[in-house]
């Protein structure tokens, strides 16, 4: 199974056991540029899971180009710390690599002690909201030497290969792009001049590490920014890189400031593999593909169809470091999914927090959150098969407890299907696949269509009960909110029910916007139909594109806050807001709804709206009114459990309504507490 994926490959003079690489990803496990034990345990776990390459990074070549939030190898003292990590990675059978990093104009001044970042030209950065200092010839040579010196230290620290970052809008990319390189000397102007800085960095590193040492570069297949380099030019850049001395080319998508999504669910699986394929046609060295390569089937197909020679599994291996080992053993259904939500990884980084994963409670906590065999097996009852109940059941069973999971409905998953209903959220269904497989593997007894009652508990006589009753839609304190005919967002997302033409949604948080988009998409052209009609030239392209975003409903969202989507992640909110605009959803913010009837919304707005001036009462007629005003815990069972005298733990939304990570992490940690000192 997956013969190509698990076949060896030789990079220069180094033979790897398979074609899986874990790439450099910012983790924020320290703020002092030092490689601490948390990094060590994290990288060791990734290596233990079976990847061929484990890349440590990003690692700054100097302070000005990396700052406080990035590891540093700009002097000799950290070599010993990196040696600990390379030894640990190698001991687990993987090849340790390092990515050398310089952000250039993308260095945030606050992270470099208020200094001005360097760049090829003094061009304002939309990413950092700062203007860099144009590098002098001397500063160019200094940075190139810093790359070479860091590469030499990497060899001394025991790395098998060095990767130079030339993607995402960082320094090398800034020299390459006409957007950010306005120089008039030998490093600017013509394509050849703009290539000079990155190719000289490669040559300097090659000279330092020697002819036999593997050297790679991570490059953008398309900048996806105005005035940037497109996939018509990037193959020529790749050829220049190969000529300068790289042995491997790692291809990814665009810049951080690109308005084309790079990572979230909106990007189809393996969506940027075509960029790697274009590079592969232009060079003779091996090429890696990156971005949203989620399954072993995807990876094997890309390799066999000639897109690439290796695959990068970044956030996929945060979600499940043992993805490679499970794939090799044919246990594909047991791979914990990466659903491209960006909540535990990218959102946390952008908020200045360390990386974790909503679906993997151990990511970033490898040394603390350890599942150990129990010395005192207990009989565990789990009431509710939503994410919290599923995770608690699987974790307790892994510990060696006898677990019986009960669910009122006829299927596991709880609110997962609800969350997966809006456009681009279907990846969440992968959790159901995963938990179904894990329940079977770890021998959890599952009783569906079985409500948990006090009589059932008396009959079962468990030692401990995990109560995962979930939540229900909350009815807001608005006059008329509870009348017949007004729907909840749950009603709409759970069932494909008929709606009127003019739809009002009360509540513009994440659920409200996702529900609005779910409705607005109804009646638009599907991707399959768009493709069919396009290849047959049935209508002008602009008309077909219009039909992509013109549905059967007019949707208006009312939100009391000054802006909608305030609870969406920082890395994905802009994607949602673009969709809302694209599909013509009307947002009314600063709107306090004061009354509802089956066909009318009444309220006050703090600013002018299309039908009334601000700070005045208004009323609007709609065909369908939907509430998206939050949820409340269901505690009917847990409220009565004390009378039985059996230890129990509330988990998931039954404890307090929250997001996926609260449910899954909470279920996991609750199970670990079964063996905590003093636990019953």
Q: Which CATH superfamily is domain 9-350 in?
A: Aldolase class I (3.20.20.70)
Q: What is the CATH number of domain 487-629?
A: 3.50.50.60
Task: Quote the pLDDT of residue 224.
Answer: 95
pLDDT tens for each residue of 15-52: 999 999 999 999 999 999 999 999 999 999 999 999 99
pLDDT of residue 608: 63
Task: Give percent helix, percent strand, percent coil of the chain, each to the nearest 5.
Answer: 35, 20, 50
Q: Above 60 in pLDDT, residue 488?
A: yes
Q: Looking at 499-570, which runs of residues are DSSP E strands?
A: 502-506, 554-559
Provide the percentage of residues in the chain whose pLDDT is more than 90: 90
d(CA 315, CA 322): 12
Query: DSSP 3-state assignment of 28?
Result: coil
The superfamily in CATH containing domain 379-472+632-675 is NAD(P)-binding Rossmann-like Domain (3.40.50.720)
595 burial level (CB within 10 Å; 0-12, 13-18, 19+): middle
Average pLDDT in the 394-411 region? 98
Q: For residues 524-547, b (16+ Cβ closer than 10 Å) or e, as one string?
A: bbeeeeeeebeeeeeeeeeebeee
Query: What is d(CA 186, CA 192) in angstroms, rounded to the nearest whole number?
Result: 9
Q: In the predicted model, what is the mean pLDDT of residues 336-356?
A: 91
Q: What is the pLDDT of residue 263?
A: 84
The arithmetic mean of pLDDT across residues 87-112, rounded, is 97
Q: Has residue 610 got a pLDDT over 80?
A: no
3-class secondary structure, 165: strand
431 CB-near residues (< 8 Å, 6+ apart) = 337, 339, 359, 387, 390, 413, 416
Section 340-359 average pLDDT: 91
- Look at the block and give the residue holding tokens 């013969």: 3
Cβ distance 442 to 399 under 8 Å?
no
661 vs 158, more confident: 158
CA neighbours closer than 13 Å in the CB half-sphere of residue 521: 16
Q: What is the pLDDT of residues 227-270, one digit of tens each?
A: 999 999 999 999 999 999 999 999 999 999 999 988 888 899 99
Q: Is pLDDT above 60 for 613?
A: no
pLDDT for the residue numbered 578: 94
For 300-325, give the DSSP string. Answer: HHHHHTTS-SEEE-SHHHHH-TTHHH
Q: What is the pLDDT of residue 349?
A: 87
The pLDDT-based confidence of 615 (bands split at 50, 70, 90) is low
- Tokens representing 3 are 């013969």
Query: Can you tell me the mean pLDDT for 307-311?
Result: 98
pLDDT in tens, 419-472: 999 998 999 999 999 999 999 999 999 999 999 999 999 999 999 999 999 999
pLDDT tens sequence across 182-202: 999 999 999 999 999 999 999
Phi, psi of 511 (to 5 degrees): -65, -40
Average pLDDT over residues 362-376: 96
Cα distance between residue 81 and residue 286, in whole Å: 30
Q: Could you tell me which of 204, 186, 207 has the C-alpha nearest to residue 196?
A: 186
Q: Compute the average pLDDT of residues 208-221.
A: 97
pLDDT computed for residue 528 by the predictor? 92
pLDDT at 412: 97
Residue 43's pLDDT is 98
Q: DSSP secondary-structure letter at 649?
A: E
Which pLDDT belongs to residue 612? 57
* Angle in degrees, 0-180, between the axes of helices 79-91 and 137-156, rounded to the nearest 10: 50
Peptide bond into 58 cis (omega under 30): yes
For the chain, which residues make up each domain, given as ranges? 9-350, 379-472+632-675, 487-629
Tokens of 284: 């003779």
């Amino acid at each position: 199974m997956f013969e190509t994926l698990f076949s060896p490959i030789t990079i220069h003079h180094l033979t790897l056991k398979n074609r899986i690489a874990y790439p450099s990803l910012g983790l924020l496990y320290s703020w002092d540029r030092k490689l601490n034990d948390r990094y060590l345990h994290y990288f060791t776990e990734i290596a233990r899971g079976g990847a061929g390459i484990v890349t440590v990074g990003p690692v700054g070549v100097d302070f000005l180009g990396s700052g406080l939030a990035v590891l540093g190898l700009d002097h000799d003292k950290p070599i010993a710390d990196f040696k600990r990590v390379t030894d640990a990675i190698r001991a687990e059978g993987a090849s340790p690599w390092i990515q050398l990093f310089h952000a250039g104009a993308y260095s945030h001044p606050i992270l470099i002690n208020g200094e001005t970042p360097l760049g090829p030209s003094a061009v304002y950065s939309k990413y950092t909201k700062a203007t860099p200092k144009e590098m002098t010839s001397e500063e160019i040579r200094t940075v190139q030497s810093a790359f070479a010196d860091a590469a030499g230290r990497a060899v001394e620290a025991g790395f098998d290969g060095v990767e130079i970052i030339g993607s995402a809008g960082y320094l090398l990319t800034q020299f390459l792009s006409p957007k950010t390189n306005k120089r008039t000397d030998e490093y600017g102007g013509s394509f050849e001049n703009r290539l000079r800085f990155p190719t000289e960095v490669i040559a300097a590193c090659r000279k330092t590490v020697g002819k036999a040492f593997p050297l790679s570069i991570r490059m953008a297949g398309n900048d996806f920014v105005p005035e940037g380099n497109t996939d018509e030019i990037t193959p020529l850049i790749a050829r220049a890189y190969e000529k300068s001395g790289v042995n491997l080319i790692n291809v990814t998508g665009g810049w951080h400031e690109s308005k084309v999504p790079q990572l979230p669910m909106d990007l189809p699986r393996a969506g940027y593999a075509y960029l790697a394929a274009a590079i592969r046609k232009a060079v003779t060295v091996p090429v890696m593909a990156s971005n949203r390569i989620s399954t072993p089937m995807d990876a094997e197909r890309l390799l066999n169809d000639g897109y690439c020679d290796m695959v990068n599994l970044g956030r996929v291996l945060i979600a499940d470091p043992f993805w490679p080992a499970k794939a090799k053993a044919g246990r594909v259904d047991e791979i914990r999914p990466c659903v491209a939500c960006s909540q535990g990884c990218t959102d946390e980084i952008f908020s200045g927090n360390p990386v974790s994963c909503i679906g993997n409670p151990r990511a970033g906590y490898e040394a603390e959150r350890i599942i150990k065999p129990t010395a005192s097996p207990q009989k565990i009852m789990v009431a509710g098969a939503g994410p919290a109940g599923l995770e608690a059941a699987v974790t307790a069973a892994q510990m060696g407890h006898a677990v019986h999971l009960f669910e009122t409905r006829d299927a596991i998953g709880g609110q997962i299907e609800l969350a997966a209903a809006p456009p681009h959220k279907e990846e969440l269904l992968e959790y159901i696949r995963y938990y179904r497989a894990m329940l079977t593997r770890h021998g959890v007894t599952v009783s569906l269509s079985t409500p948990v009652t006090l009589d059932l508990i008396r009959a079962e006589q468990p030692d401990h009960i995990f109560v995962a009753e979930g939540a229900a839609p909350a009815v807001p304190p608005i006059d008329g909110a509870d009348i017949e005919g007004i729907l909840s967002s749950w009603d709409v997302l759970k069932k494909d029910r008929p709606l009127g033409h003019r739809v009002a949604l009360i509540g513009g948080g994440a659920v409200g916007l996702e529900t609005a988009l779910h409705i607005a998409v109804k009646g638009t052209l599907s991707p399959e139909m768009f493709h069919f009609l396009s290849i047959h030239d049935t209508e002008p392209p602009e008309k077909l594109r219009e039909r992509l975003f013109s549905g059967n409903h007019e949707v208006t969202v009312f939100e009391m806050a000054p802006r909608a989507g305030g609870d969406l992640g920082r890395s994905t909110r802009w994607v949602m807001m673009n969709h809302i605009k694209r599909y013509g959803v009307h947002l009314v913010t600063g709107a306090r709804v004061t009354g509802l009837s089956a066909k009318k919304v009444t309220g006050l707005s703090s600013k002018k709206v299309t039908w009334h001036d601000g700070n005045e009462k208004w009323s609007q007629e709609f065909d369908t009114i939907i509430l998206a005003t939050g949820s409340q815990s269901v505690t009917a069972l847990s409220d009565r459990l004390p009378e039985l005298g059996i230890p129990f733990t509330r988990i998931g939304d039954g404890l307090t309504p929250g997001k996926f990570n609260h449910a899954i992490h909470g279920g996991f940690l609750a199970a670990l507490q079964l063996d905590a000192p003093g636990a019953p």
